Amino acid sequence: MTHPPSSRSHTNSPTLNLPKKDGLDSVLVINDDPAMRELIEKSLQKAACNLITAANGPDGIALFKKHNPQLILADLQMSGMDGYTFCATLRALPGGEDVPIIVITSDADSNAIERTYSSGATDFIIKPIYWAVLHHRIQYHLRTHRAMHEARQSSILLAEAQRIAKLGNWIWDLDKQELHASDESYRIFDVPKVAPDIFHALFIRSVHKDDKKRFDIAVSNAHEGKSTDISFKIALPNKHIKTIQMHLDSSRGDHHIFGTFQDISEQRRTEASIRQLAYYDSITGLPNRDLFKEHLNMALHQAGRNHYQVAVMFLDLDNFKRVNDSLGHGAGDQLLHTISSRLQDSVRASDMAARDTSEMDISLARLGGDEFTIMLSCLHGIDHVNTVAQRILARITQPVTLGGNNIVISASIGIAIYPEDGDNMTTLLKNADAAMYKVKAEGRNGVFFYDQSMRHQSHDRLELESDLHKALDNDQLTLYYQPKVDTQSHKVIGFEALIRWIHPQKGIVSPIDFIPIAEESGLIVPIGQWVIQAACRQHQAWRKAGVPPVSIAVNLSAYQFADEHLLSGIKEIMQQTHMPAKYLELEITETVLMRDADSALHILNEMKAMGLKISIDDFGTGYSSISYLKHFPVDVLKIDREFVKDLPESEQDATITTAIIMLAKALNLRLVAEGVETVEQLNWLRDRYCDQIQGYFFSPPVPPEIAVKMITTPFPQGAIQSK
């Protein structure tokens, strides 16, 4: 039984020989005496090996190439090619360098034995053959060859693993200052294999000056018996910089340190790239919100220990949206990049100015959109903070050239101070934001410090937010209904559901006071769901009481419209209340729709597929596109009260309102005019065929028990004319 032909590679690269499938070693027997071959075969029948036989040297060479045996037993005295020639020829073949060769000879002369070894034989046995000895000799050499082969394969595997992992091992002789290193260690340092003392000198010189002190400490620790790990940079002879992870095993008492080198340059580059994506803004290159919060948390922790102050500035660009809308997002990005550079210049200049008086640390970040934050930490007083803020404002208001246009932009800055204005990151950011909005409210382009009055407002706001949580749980919310009246028949054909909060101590709280709090706290989404559910239940209660059906409109905030569960929540409410979809109208402002018009179109189409009615609220006050309006599946346009309040006297409002009415008629949309308070406004709108009106002229929002009476009782014509 013989092995299949070997697939051994004859390249110069390391070769891994896989184990034989049958697990048996192959022995090639070469002898030109058939009787002797037969005796050898019988003698080795019980040996755990496969026998291959050849009658002469050339045949033996051919069989070796074909079967790659693990041992060769050859007669020294053969005709044609004798044993000396065979050994020398085999050793010159690829793969023949280390295979054991046992020669059988009848010549025990010392010169013959010396010649046998010189030709390449591994061992010899003297005729007449003692078969038991031959058997043991063969087993011994097979075991030895197998062990050497496994050691060689392990060495190859280790070298390959080190090459792949860019990991080299070494022994450092501290007395001789020699570094005995593996091949991969030399590759890591991009140097040829040299003497250990030369490599030691190259290695020591390559340690980057910035890391030299830490490196020396790590070596000293290892010398004292402490194993340690250190990463440091090396400067290679070709001027390239690499990052090395080095493990130093403690000295074993003989002044030798053992360890490894690993090239982690690519890993560090990948980590830096990931960190850049995770912690830095792609447009400005500044730290983002997450990294700023890390810096602020660390600064607050240090300030608490050392009794420092920390200033947090919240900066928002004024009218940035107009730049985006008029010049495009590319110009907006360019402006953000320019502003970030100016902020960095301003902060650096301020930092230098403050060094003589403080240990101030500074962090600058872009939170998103046109919002930036600046942190000044390790402050012993806040006098310098206003100086920094004013320098920033002056730098920002310098003209910027965008697309050939000179743009002047300003900023509003709100400032909160630790610990006076908050002892944690969330409170400080919130209060700095509130101070910034104070600047916006008072005309923009300024600086405002969070003050005592705002502190009281913030306390009241927090208290109101806490009460609002309870209101949702304790059934303190209710709906009032303002009628929508047909301009021709004066019949109530629908209501807008408006939320009211009946506070146990404060009485009715206006939506103007609590809706912004609900939006900031995230309560607006569950409150919005409650409004839809309550309106549907009221509609069905009226239906069960025999009242003719009318539509009920509810407002959707921007937060609700962005909620991924909005549609599924509405479906669930309609199923629970058995509300017919055609009587539920959702009012959405055009500003919300135009934030992401394509996404809004998808959501509106799903709403229409559910059978819901859709109206655009406050039409004309936001940023709209007629081309999108044409594609939006809208049923109603609501004319904002800003265009109605000065009718019919205001020629400008009359022109705008007439245009909106004509647009709605052209698009086959129904119209509702909001804020109608006088008979003159009513008559003007009716004469121009506005479909419905809503306002205090007919009725303010009222409780459901009053609203229901309006459904069956039209407003009298005489009463209207006399108002």
Residue 721 lies in a domain: no
150 shares a domain with 81:
yes
Domain CATH number, residue 360: 3.30.70.270
Q: Is residue 101 part of a domain?
A: yes
Cβ-contact 445, 412 below 8 angstroms: yes
Examine the domain organization and report whether 256 and 320 are in the same domain.
Answer: no
Do 154 and 175 belong together in one domain?
A: no
Reduced to 3 states (helix: H, G, I; strand: E, B; else coil), residue 235 is: strand
Furthest CA-CA distance within the chain? 146
Residues 73, 104 contacting (CB under 8 angstroms) = yes
pLDDT for 454: 66
Peptide bond into 94 cis (omega under 30): no
Asked if 557 and 703 sit in the same domain, the reply is yes
- Lookup: tokens for 252: 């074993």
Domain-ending residue, one of 124, 145, 160: 160
Length of the chain: 723
Whether the per-residue pLDDT at 50 is higher than 80: the answer is yes
Give domain status of residue 3, yes or no: no
- Domain at 235, CATH number: 3.30.450.20
Q: Tokens 């690829």 sit at which residue?
A: 94
Asked if the structure places residue 401 within a domain, the reply is yes
- CATH code at position 556: 3.20.20.450
Q: Are residues 390 and 520 in the same domain?
A: no
Percent of the chain having pLDDT more than 90? Answer: 33
Task: Say if residue 424 is in the same domain as residue 490.
Answer: no
Domain end residue (candidates: 160, 191, 222): 160
Spatial neighbors of 631 by CB under 8 A, at least 6 apart, are 601
pTM of the model: 0.47
Look at residue 275 and tell me if it is in a domain. no
Strand intervals (E) in 182-328? 228-235, 241-249, 256-263, 309-317
Residue with tokens 């055609």: 582
Tell me, yes or no, whether 438 and 551 share the same domain: no
Torsion of the alpha carbons at 441, 447, 449 and 455, rounded to the nearest 10: 10
Instruction: Please tell me the number of Cα atoms within 13 Å of 698 on its side-chain side.
Output: 31
* pLDDT at residue number 30: 92
* pLDDT in the model for residue 9: 35
User: How many domains does one find in the chain?
Assistant: 4
Note whether residue 77 is domain-resident. yes
| Residue 596 within any structural domain of the chain | yes
Same domain, 410 and 429: yes
Ranking 398-412, 453-467, 667-681 by mean pLDDT, the lowest is: 453-467
Looking at per-residue confidence, does 433 or 326 come out higher?
433
Q: Do residues 624 and 558 both lie within one domain? A: yes
Residues 151 and 172 both lie in one domain = no
In terms of domains, do 434 and 517 share one? no
Per-residue model confidence as pLDDT tens digits over 314-367: 999 988 887 877 788 888 889 999 999 999 888 864 443 333 334 457 889 998
Q: What is the pLDDT of residues 201-220, one digit of tens each?
A: 999 999 999 899 999 988 88
Residue type, 231: S
Query: Which range of residues forms the domain containing residue 155?
Result: 25-160
pLDDT over threshold 90, residue 544: yes
Q: Answer yes or no: do 139 and 179 share one domain.
A: no
Average pLDDT over the chain reads 84
Q: Which of 450, 471, 506 is the last residue of a domain?
A: 450
Q: Residue 237 — pLDDT band, cuts 50, 70, 90?
A: confident
Which pLDDT does position 479 carry in this prediction? Answer: 95
Residue 274 lies in a domain: no
